[in-house]
Copies of this chain bind each other. A is one copy, B any other.
Amino acid sequence: MLKDHVKAEIPEKEELKVKLKAEREKLAASLMSIKDAKLPVMVICEGFGGAGVGSTLGKVVNCIDPRFFKLKSFGGKASEDEKRYPFLYRYMLTIPEAGKFTFYDGFWMHEITDALLDGSLSEKLYEKRVSSIQSAERALHDNGYIILKFFFRIGKKEQKKRFEKLLDNKDTKWRVDDGDLRENKEYEDHERVYDRYLNDTDSAIAPWYIVDSEDERFSEWQLLSVINRGIDTALKNKALAAPVRQNRFKLVPMQKLSEVSFEGKELTDEEYEEELKDLQKRLRALHYRLYRKKIPVVIAYEGWDAAGKGGNIKRITKALDPRGYEVHPVASPEPHEKARFFLWRFWNRLPKTGHIAIFDRTWYGRVMVERLEGFCSENDWQRAYNEMNEFEKELSDWGAVVIKFWVDIDKDTQLARFTDRQNTPEKQWKITDEDWRNREKWDLYEAAVDEMLEKTSTEFAPWYILESVDKKYARIKALRIVIKRLEEACGKD
């Protein structure tokens, strides 16, 4: 893309001034439409050092009321703390909310190209990074984000001249670092790697624009006009649905809920107490081991109301060091969460390496309550199976153990437990009108759960059904599964 790029003609000074003014006004005027359409806009700028990304962005954001944008800057290096999360993590946290912009002065490109250039990124991992980005961009796009990507290009000589000017002033010389100087010295190598990255991440939904950056006002005009056109198109397309992609992961066959039998799936108090003690002891030791080996763990609980999720989770956490786990009870999203991509609030709650995150209800709300209550469109929940599989693939590729439990009971058991909650003063807070309303939709939920289990039980993140008419049985089964999966991941020593 860089090498065969056809340089644009810089308009005459006066003409450029007029054009620039028009684009600035157009952007300022479109803010209310963007807000009304709840459009989130990502403007991602990458480029050669000294190409003027910062100063151009400075001009662009100056046309925009601060209520409507944030600007984020990413260096090529993750901090020690950020390295304990998946590659996409620190980037995903910064996505804009509906109706607003995030401008990026550097996004995820340089973490990859820098590492490729200094030899610390293998070819295989490079491919993986590119595919992570493609899948994240697709998910964001399909969920209504516009992604506008710019690469600021300057020639070797011009870059050298600009660096020299910055180095000449003690207040600006810190802006040129060793990496910049190396980039200039080994300009062709860098150009080749950038070119490769741009080609690999160019796509119909998020194409790259090469910005000829020799003239600052011209850069600004290129940026503004592409942003304005992009917004126009996105506003027109607002109601379009995105294709539902074919599944590309190997799936583990699952039972239908109607086939689940509770027969014989019970334990006496003695069996339970004895096993519980033994398993918790083993889990405690494993927790220290996975901490030492820095393996992250995600345990996701879904299940019928009153199936016993909370008590089940408690039997797991009782064995854990409280510094090494967190339980995330998931209720309906807060306004600032609802205003973003539905997986954002889960990205936000990922464990560090060596830690365990337990979700009491999860992202699967998308294909259950959100589907059945109409909180998202049909296209949204149909796409979500793949979006969630890809999300979990990222976790798994990062090294996480992903365990998903469906805590299952039958309809009569639920009724008995609801009634008990209703009649026991200290349990009454656990039962609401909503629980009774959901119960009326049992059959619809059952069909949705069957579809979910079928479509999202991947080999890297399988579902396990916990038969929980006898809660003791379900707890022991959960502990055994967690221990087995952790032993596989931690090894013997």
Contact = CB atoms under 8 A, between A and B. Distances in A.
A70 interface: yes
A327 B105 contact: no
Interface string A88-123: 000000000000000101000000000000000000
A73 B323 contact: yes
A133 interface: no
B66 A327 contact: yes
Given A291-B174, A334-B336, A322 B29 contact: no
Interface stretch (A203-211, A310-318, A389-397, A468-476): A310-318
A338 to B, nearest CB: 11
A489 interface: no
Interface string A281-321: 00001001101100000000000000000100110011011
B105 A172 contact: no
Interface stretch (A53-61, A219-227, A237-245): A53-61
Interface residues of A, number: 51
A71 interface: yes
A327 B64 CA distance: 11
A470 to B, nearest CB: 22
A233 interface: no
Contacts of A323: 54, 71, 73, 105
Contact of A289 (B54, B61, B171): B171
Contact of A321 (B55, B67, B493): B55
Given A326-B70, A326-B71, A327-B66, A58 B171 contact: no
A66 B313 contact: yes
Interface string A28-62: 01001000000000000000000000110110011
A320 B54 CA distance: 10
A347 to B, nearest CB: 17
A259 interface: no
A274 interface: no
A179 interface: no
A170 B490 CA distance: 13
A62 B288 contact: no
Interface of A: 29, 32, 54-55, 57-58, 61-62, 65-67, 70-71, 73, 79-81, 103, 105, 170-172, 174-175, 285, 288-289, 291-292, 310, 313-314, 317-318, 320-323, 326-329, 331, 334-336, 358, 360, 426, 429, 493
13 contacts: A32-B429, A54-B323, A57-B322, A66-B327, A66-B328, A70-B326, A79-B79, A79-B80, A103-B322, A172-B288, A174-B291, A174-B292, A335-B335
10 tightest A-B contacts by CB? A66-B327, A58-B322, A171-B288, A67-B329, A73-B323, A171-B289, A57-B322, A71-B322, A66-B329, A62-B318
